[in-house]
Structure 1
Amino acid sequence: MLFKSLAALAAILPSTFACPHESHLRKRQAANETIENPEWAYEASYNWGKLDPMYQLCQTGTQQSPIALSLNNGLSLNHIPTFHNYTGNTTGMYRNWGFGPGFALSRDDITANPSFTYDNETVYLLGWHIHAPADHSVGGDRSKAEMHFVHGDADGHEKAVLAFRLDPGNSDASFFTQLPPMIGFNETGPEYEQQIEMNLDYALQSVLHFNEFWFYRGSLTSPPCHEGIHWFVARQILFTGVEQMQAILGASTYSARAEQEVWQHRINE
């Protein structure tokens, strides 16, 4: 089968590269091809709820993501995360998830993965991936990209996301210095994939281990828009080098959902 767009290619990638979000299959219509699910696009997120009954929450949900944030919201005084096993090297598969670079951990024993605890609940890292531009704006400003560390429960169901806003700064970020060249995407899939080891704590160090963050109850940011996702958005920005940011953007395609109206998100509660 010849895929015609980056969006359609995401259907063949493992769900771990998805924003808790991208695991739902979609295919572009072609000659003599059955559409398993209607294709959706970030550029037309206003219409997702009308494409398929399975996407109804995209239109009717009360805790949809992303949302606009501001210091006027204050910062969270609760849900403080405690991190486990993030230091040292973690092995995973480095690949483009269809919209930008991503990194997936093994699901053989999820409870052996790096994790964090909040509200007496422990969630385990499934992988990370990048959106460009950022999903969340802060004070009306939207960063050039946003990285999501997606965590799930012991059964692998997505439960929480650590969100890092990414912008270019004056020096390279140690987190991205560890990576091979940023992976692009062509019509047959990622340019390559590679098993690598990386110190994930470098990202946490860059935002002072989420000592300041916004917390809210939200959703997946793409169909089927399931709710019940706990979002932790770092106040600090993870700054990259200029060339690092150019590489990230060069390997990415547009992947930010339109911000949703705040309704029952319980920001910082």
Structure 2
Amino acid sequence: MRLFRFAILTLGLSATAASAQSGANWDYYGKTGPLGWGKLDPAYQACSKGHEQSPIDIRGAHLNKALQPIEFHYMAGSVTLENNGRTIVVHVNPGSYIVVGGVRYDLQQFEFHHPSETAVSGKLTDLGVQLLHKSADGKMVIIEIRLAMDRGNPNAVLAMLWPHLPKKPGTTEKVTDMVNPGGFLPADRGYWTYMGSLSTPPCTEGVRWFVYEEQISLSLDQLRAFTILFRMNSRPLQEAHGRRIEANE
């Protein structure tokens, strides 16, 4: 089996953006880093006290043949890239969505983490893209896709986005080209799934994660362009606490 990851969260906001709009300031380093998130603000208590936190190490997945493929209904369109000081968030136009278990989840935006947040048998990849969705009744899904330099081939979607990377925190750049996030999807749609949380404060639980098994590629230049801006922006792995991890194939 190969690797795949995804992420989901609040309406119109990524996990990072949602937590950034209120509450105490946090970061990936020092006193405001992940080990101290739970103490920074009472609203962040789940970060230290929760038992279904993300990301985790994928091991010992149980095959569940009843799991259905995720239906993707993504549309190409212009996007806006935002440097929020912690990652690059890509804001998309309304209309793209997925269907999971007969429920529609609308794509809000997607964002990037170096290295990938989910591990598989202890191994992280060079970059992770998390696509963030929300249902009409507020349920959240995160789909993470992991990118690696195994072959070093440039990624076509990144090739459209990276020339427009906003360099300074708090700035945005518009991409008028037709960007389709479906270009990140691997050919093999096998996935792992488990119940987790937002991977940034307030670390809200009850989030369904889907991690695709197959990795996709990016080039060294594409990875460097991101790491120049963000040396490391991933939360450490969290305890599984006996959670069931399932695979659809």
TM-score (norm: length of structure 2) = 0.82
Distance 1:234 1:183, change over 3 A: same
Query: Which residue is 1:162 aligned to?
Result: 143
Name the SS of the counterpart of 1:166 in structure 2. Answer: strand
Aligned residue number for residue 68 of structure 2: 80
Q: Which digits, 9 at most, give the CA deviation of each residue in 1:130-169, with x for residues without a partner? A: 01111111111111211100011136x4610110111123
Query: Which sits farther off after the overlay, 157-166 or 130-139?
Result: 157-166
Aligned match for 1:54, one of 39, 43, 54: 43
- In the TM superposition, residue 268 of structure 1 has moved relative to its aligned partner by 1.2
Counterpart position of 2:25: 39
Structure 2 stretches of 5 or more lacking a match? Answer: 1-9
Aligned residue pairs, count: 233
CA distance in 2, matches of 1:92, 1:182: 11
Which aligned runs of 4 or more in structure 1 are off by greater than 4 angstroms? 14-17
1:90 corresponds in structure 2 to: 77
- Confirm or deny: 8 A CA contact 1:62 1:264 kept in the other structure: no
Counterpart among 68, 79, 86 of residue 99 in structure 1: 86
Q: Give the TM-score of the pair, scaled to structure 1.
A: 0.77
How far apart are the structure 2 equivalents of 1:60 and 1:68? Answer: 19
1:124, CA displacement in angstroms?
Answer: 0.9
Q: CA deviation at 1:251?
A: 3.1
Look up the equivalent residue of 2:85 and give its one-letter code. Answer: G
Change in CA separation of 1:101 and 1:38 when aligned onto 2, cut-off 3 Å: closer
Contact 1:131 1:147 in 2 (8 A): yes
Closer/same/farther in 2, CA of residues 17 and 95 from structure 1, 3 Å limit: farther
Cα distance in 2 between the residues matched to 1:251 and 1:45: 19
Q: What corresponds to 1:30 in structure 2? A: none
Structure with the higher fraction of residues in strand conformation: 2
Higher relative contact order (CA 8 A, sep 6+): 2
Q: 1:179 aligns with which of 161, 168, 172?
A: 161
Is contact 2:118-2:237 (8 Å) kept?
Answer: yes
Question: Which of 156, 168, 187 is residue 208 of structure 1 equivalent to?
Answer: 187
Radius of gyration: which is bigger?
Answer: 1
Identity %: 24
Cα offset, 1:52, TM superposition: 1.6
**Any conservation in 1 of the 2:11–2:108 contact (CA below 8 Å)?**
no
Partner Cα separation in structure 1 for residue 45 and residue 56 of structure 2: 19
Q: Give the Cα–Cα distance (whole angstroms) in 2 for the partners of residues 145 and 121 of structure 1.
A: 29
Q: Deviations over 1:28-71 (max 9, x none)?
A: xxxxxxxx73322223312211222111111211211010113x
